[in-house]
Chains A and B, each alone.
Chain A
Amino acid sequence: DSGVTQTPKHLITATGQRVTLRCSPRSGDLSVYWYQQSLDQGLQFLIQYYNGEERAKGNILERFSAQQFPDLHSELNLSSLELGDSALYFCASSVTGGAGEDEQFFGPGTRLTVL
């Protein structure tokens, strides 16, 4: 158990809908990272928040957004969902904000299925 929690574990929805994925980092970690793992793209970095502010951005679609709240939990919002958004979405957390040297601890993921 990494100490990172994600809810829900599974999510099934329809095209055009909007969903929110939630992540609680390990106690004491200030950074939260979101990743998408799909069949054809592997593990892709989406976005990072550090202590409530956006810190780094990957190839995140404009239909996707995220935020980190004062209690440091984070939400990833996916809107106007398409079939291709079906994937596993992982959250990771780390103590500080360095993308690499600060070990990232991954949650168990949320499996999103868009029908």
Chain B
Amino acid sequence: GESVGLHLPTLSVQEGDNSIINCAYSNSASDYFIWYKQESGKGPQFIIDIRSNMDKRQGQRVTVLLNKTVKHLSLQIAATQPGDSAVYFCAERGISNFGNEKLTFGTGTRLTIIP
């Protein structure tokens, strides 16, 4: 499996700098959000999640911020490393047309770390 060559928004960051990746979600009723990382040749990998009753959550070198007022989610990566180069997707949990819970993924952002 490899990353699909989508015409994605791109972000280039110097190694060691911080990066911020943004995502706008569509459903104001979504109650749970996840950030995934997809490296070339691999499937998406869970990075960090956040519930709608929180506005910030921190992990190792990553922080997710949630602004429900404007339906905006961001992923901050501190002290970026070459291994951070990947496509990053946000996903929201909502209700499908069939009445069940499902994850809806954003289109993704391609992050490139410049050595």
Which of A9, A109, A110 has the most C-beta atoms of chain B within 10 angstroms of its own C-beta?
Answer: A109
> Whose C-beta in chain B lies nearest to the C-beta of A45?
B102
A108 touches B43 (CB 8 A): yes
Task: Check B41 for interface membership: any CB of A closer than 8 A.
Answer: yes
Contact B104 A56 (CB under 8 A): no
Q: Are A101 and B100 in contact (CB under 8 A)?
A: no
Complex-state Cα separation, A108 to B44, whole angstroms: 8
Instruction: Give CA–CA (A34, B100) in the complex, Å.
Output: 15
What bracket does the count of chain A residues touching chain B fall in? 20 to 34
Interface centre among A6, A9, A56, A107 (most CB of B within 10 A): A56
Whether, in the assembled complex, B25 has its beta carbon less than 8 Å from a beta carbon of chain A, the answer is no
Q: How large is the interface on B (under 10, 10 to 19, 20 to 34, 35 or more residues)?
A: 20 to 34
Secondary structure dominating the interface of B: loop
Assess the B4–A99 pair: CB atoms within 8 A: no
Bound state CA distance, A44 and B105, in angstroms? 7
Contact with B2, one of A88, A99, A107 (Cβ below 8 angstroms): A88
Query: Does chain A have a CB within 8 A of B96?
Result: yes
Closest 8 CB pairs of A and B: A109-B1, A106-B43, A100-B93, A56-B100, A99-B101, A108-B1, A43-B105, A100-B32
**Pairs across A and B, CB under 8 Å, 26 listed:** A2-B43, A39-B6, A42-B6, A42-B105, A43-B105, A43-B108, A44-B105, A45-B96, A45-B102, A45-B103, A56-B101, A56-B102, A58-B98, A58-B102, A59-B97, A87-B4, A92-B43, A99-B102, A100-B93, A101-B93, A104-B46, A106-B43, A106-B44, A108-B42, A109-B1, A109-B43
